[in-house]
Amino acid sequence: MGLPVVHICTVTPISLTVGANRIVPAVAIPYPLGNPKLGEVEERGLRRKIVEKALMSLTRPVTDQTVFED
Amino acid sequence: MEPKRVVCYLNQFFGQIGGESEANTPPKQFDKPVGPAMGLQQLLPKNCQVVGTVVCGDDYFNEHLDEAGRAIESMLKKLAPDVVVAGPAFNAGRYGMACGAVSKIAHELGIPAVSGMYPENPGVESYRQYAYIIETSNSAAGMRQALPAMAKLTAKILQNEPIGSPREEGYLSRGIRTNIQVDKRGSERAIDMLLKKIAGEDFETEYPIPHFDRVSPADPLQDLSTATIALVTSGGIVPKGNPDRIESSSASKYGKYDISNITSLHSDEFETAHGGYDPVYANESPNRVLPVDVLRELEQEGKIGRLYPYFYATVGNGTSVANAVKYASAIAHELVNEGVHAVVLTST
């Protein structure tokens, strides 16, 4: 029932407060899915890792708010 | 000097038409104070006059919202009040909803409204932004406290006196933030509050956390490789130039943007409209907020079925919970209708 949603965000306590059920922590507020200090290839690898984790979370049954830590 | 004009709104019971059996009474106009409106008149300053009372049955109002609303609107136009006073409705739900709706009609006519309700009356949640709703007890036994408080605030509005905070005036928060001047800067006030909190003393927060609802978690996807995934963001990613003019703070709208031919978000085509965080990194590479590049790659590799050809974006900065819920509901309905299976939502 309904659409599964994964919230990728840096400040996970806010995500918990507003009621997200699947939460994947991100890197930083101004660049949740990147890191300007890394080279282009490395940065993209980091982004892919976070997105893959987010997609994985969409396939996991959850009964309560869940933060998918490493 | 012309007397200031007040119009009261009451239900069939307080309007002295009858009890529950008269709840189907359509709106009626009396060109004088009736019931509690007489009490209100006595509490108002001499230059303020209750020139009319509009009475409507609670069932009629709630079952014929449009008709009742139109009838009352035309009565208010004729009576031309300076303030509308609705209720008090205490914890009567239908009456509270009617008082709220009448306040909204007044608001739309440019007339300020005062009401009185118990905080849990559903009229508070639905219409709080349209009226100064004095906090009352949950039954009509509280009339004696409610009326003077409502009269005091009504008089202030009529005499163009500044209206203080909800706590000072005794009305329920309208969810409106206003600028005020204070002696101590924010860091000092925050430390003061923290020290009081640690010491176990009472302190008053400057920003109560709003109430958020809870949604049961949706069932997981069975198969990612056949799923259509949509991207949604509160990080303000928009086509360059922000064609929908989404505000950098307190966004009044969201946008829907075509990415069917986009493999990666480039800085010459996309940017962020979001205020409140340093936009340099998002503008340099919008994929850092909205990972189109990676999802496109995963789509080509067959890891996901399809990336939905549009993304939705708004600005989270200062956007009210009520508006966020509205946007989310509209977006979710559209995504469900379009056969999307899951959403990746990113926030800054």
ipTM of the complex: 0.98
Is B225 in the A-facing interface, judged by CB distances under 8 Å?
no
A6 touches chain B (CB under 8 A): yes
Residue A68: left (phi > 0), alpha (psi -120 to 50), or beta? beta
Residue, of A18 and B216, whose pLDDT is higher: B216
Here the tokens at position B91 are 């914890």
> In angstroms, rounded to a whole number, what is the distance separating the alpha carbons of residues A55 and A61?
12
Task: Give the pLDDT confidence of B80-128 residue by residue, as tens digits.
Answer: 999 999 999 999 988 999 999 999 999 999 999 999 999 888 899 889 9
**What local confidence, expressed as pLDDT, does residue B180 receive?**
84
User: What CA–CA distance (Å, rounded) separates B234 from B236?
Assistant: 6
Q: How far apart are CA B193 and CA B177, in angstroms?
A: 20
Domain of residue A31: give its range. 26-60+64-68
CA–CA gap between residue B235 and residue B273 (Å, rounded): 8
- Of A22, A29, A51, nearest to B348 by CB-CB distance is A29
Q: Are B80 and B59 in contact (CB under 8 A)?
A: no
Amino acid in position B289: V
* pLDDT for B82: 98
Closest residue to A19, CB basis, from B212, B278, B293: B212
Which residue of A lies nearest to B280 if distances are taken between CA atoms?
A30
Average pLDDT over residues B5-10: 98
pLDDT digits (tens, 9 = 90+) for B35-81: 999 999 999 999 999 999 999 999 999 889 899 999 999 999 999 99
Answer yes or no: is A41 within a domain: yes
Task: State whether residue B303 sits within 8 Å of chain A by CB.
Answer: yes
* B279 has a chain A CB within 8 A of its CB: yes
- The pLDDT tens digits for B200-259 are 999 988 877 766 778 899 999 999 999 999 999 999 999 999 999 999 988 999 999 999
**Residue A47 forms part of a structural domain:** yes
CA atoms within 13 A on the CB side of B194: 6
Backbone angles phi, psi at B300, to 5 degrees: -65, -35
Asked if residue A16 belongs to a domain, the reply is: no
For residue A61, what are the CA distances in angstroms to A22, A54, A64, A68, A70? 10, 13, 9, 12, 17
Closest CB from A5, A29, A52 relative to B277:
A29
Residue A43 located in a structural domain: yes
Angle (CA) B169-B175-B178 rounded to 5° is 70
- Inter-chain contact B291–A33, Cβ cutoff 8 Å? yes
**Res. A1 pLDDT band, cuts 50 70 90:** low
The predicted-structure confidence for B271-283, as pLDDT tens digits, reads as follows 999 988 889 999 9
Residue A51 domain-assigned (yes or no): yes
At residue B210, the pLDDT reads 67
Please list the residues that pair with B229 across neighbouring strands.
B307, B342
Note the pLDDT of residue B276: 81
- Is residue B29 classed as helix, strand or coil in its secondary structure? strand
Asked if A52's CB is within 8 angstroms of B343's CB, the reply is: no
Long-range own/partner contacts, residues B278-283 (CB < 8 A, 24 or more apart):
B278/A30, B279/A30, B280/A30, B281/A30, B281/A31, B281/A34, B281/A36, B282/A30, B282/A31, B282/B235, B282/B236, B282/B237, B282/B348
In chain A, the number of structural domains is 1
- In this prediction, residues B177-200 reach a mean pLDDT of 93
**Nearest-angstrom CA–CA distance, B328 and B299:** 25
- Between chains, do B345 and A4 touch, taking CB under 8 Å as contact? no
Three-class DSSP category at B269 = coil
Q: What is the mean pLDDT of chain A?
A: 94
Separation in Å, CA B208 to CA A13, B203, B326: 16, 12, 21
Query: Treating both helix axes as pointing N-terminal to C-terminal, what angle do B93-108 and B65-79 enclose, rounded to 10 degrees?
Result: 50
**Looking at beta carbons, which residues of chain B come within 8 Å of A64?**
217
Is the pLDDT higher at B20 or at B184? B184
Amino acid residing at B111:
I
In a domain, A52, yes or no: yes
- Residue spans of beta strands (DSSP E) within B31-129: 48-56, 83-90, 113-117
Q: What is the mean pLDDT of chain B?
A: 94
What gap in Å lies between CA B228 and CA B338, rounded to an integer?
Answer: 10
Which domains, from first to last, does chain B contain?
A: 4-169 (3.40.50.2300), 224-346 (no CATH)
In tens, the pLDDT along B290-310 reads 999 999 999 999 999 999 999
